Amino acid sequence: MNISFIGAGSMAEAIIAGIIEKKIADRKNILVTNREDQTKLTNLERKYGIQPTYRMEELMKDADMVILAVKPKDAGAALGKMAPHIREHTFLISVMAGISLSYLQSRLNVRLPIARAMPNTSACVGKSATAITFNDSVSEQQKRLAATVFSSVGMTTIVEEDQLDAITALSGSGPAYIYYVVEAMEKSAGEIGLDADTAKKMILQTLAGAAEMLLASGKEAAELRRDVTSPGGTTEAGLEVLKKANVQAAFIQCVKAAMEQSKKLGSMHESKQIV
């Protein structure tokens, strides 16, 4: 299988690493390009043995799958470069937040199979939660291929496109919310007299253990929370502060704001305010 990447940032590299590790495609059949950072391409070639190129025709010619992994603001320029070389059989997968299937189709001026995937940065350690949606031209075989590729960096789920803005806000941006909580816990550890190294180890193991409990127990988060909250105990005292500060409500607003921003990015492209 031949896979071409347009964009060579951390997400593209994570997917490349997963593809190679899972032996989904041979190194020599993976091509990659970016806008102008030759050093980055050279480093990827040395690290993974893949093929860098700035020839768009070469990227498109024999590609079974093209993964578009540029920033949303660069979508119009990238699609403009691709359009003259795209082929009707080419399977395009975009990992850009907020950029709709209809926008991708309109900029390429040809009907072709297109998917949108929304992985998150945990793909770098093989733990992404990736949602994928497809247009009507994608075959069942191509759907399986997309699931195989993104399963190499974590778990995947198939959704309708109108769910992607919400998923972008929830799991796409989700790691940053967790890191923000860790920052707060680290600061609190310093204020109560714990050294940084000890605190970090305890916090990370606590997070890993809590995630594993949610996965393995089958219990709802609220039930697990109640299980560790004894009346008059330390956990209850801490949770009362969070409740008084409306932390849960703030998190809900956080996710909603991220979703609205994803929608805004999409509407800006649809109205051609970004080209």
User: CA–CA separation, 225 vs 247, rounded Å?
Assistant: 15
Contact present, 176 and 122 (Cβ < 8 Å): no
- pLDDT in the model for residue 187: 97
Whether residue 59 contacts residue 66, with contact meaning beta carbons closer than 8 Å, is answered with yes
Measured distance CA(150)–CA(174) in Å, rounded: 18
Element (H, E) at 175: helix 174-191
Can you list the domains of the chain with their CATH numbers?
3-165 (3.40.50.720), 174-262 (1.10.3730.10)
Q: What is the pTM of this model?
A: 0.89
pLDDT in tens, 155-214: 999 999 999 999 999 999 999 999 999 999 999 999 999 999 999 999 999 999 999 999
How far is 213 from 223, CA to CA, in rounded Å?
11
- Structure-block tokens of residue 30: 């993976």
pLDDT per residue over 65-107, tens digit each? 999 999 988 998 999 999 999 887 889 999 998 899 999 998 8
Nearest residue to 42 (alpha-carbon basis) of 56, 24, 54: 54
Please determine, for residue 274, whether its predicted confidence score (pLDDT) is greater than 50.
no
Looking at the predicted structure, is the pLDDT value of residue 133 above 80? yes
- Nearest by Cα to 5 from 89, 173, 27: 27
Is 31 a residue whose pLDDT tops 50? yes
Q: Is the pLDDT of residue 110 over 90?
A: no
- The answer to whether 131 and 164 are in contact (CB under 8 A) is yes
The pLDDT value recorded for residue 273 is 46
The one-letter code for the residue type at 274 is: I
Residue 271 confidence (pLDDT) = 66
Strand pairing report for 30-33 and 3-6: parallel
pLDDT surpassing 70 at residue 275: no
Contacts of 215 (CB under 8 A, 6+ apart): none
Helix axes 247-270, 174-191, angle to 10 degrees: 150
CA max distance for the chain: 68
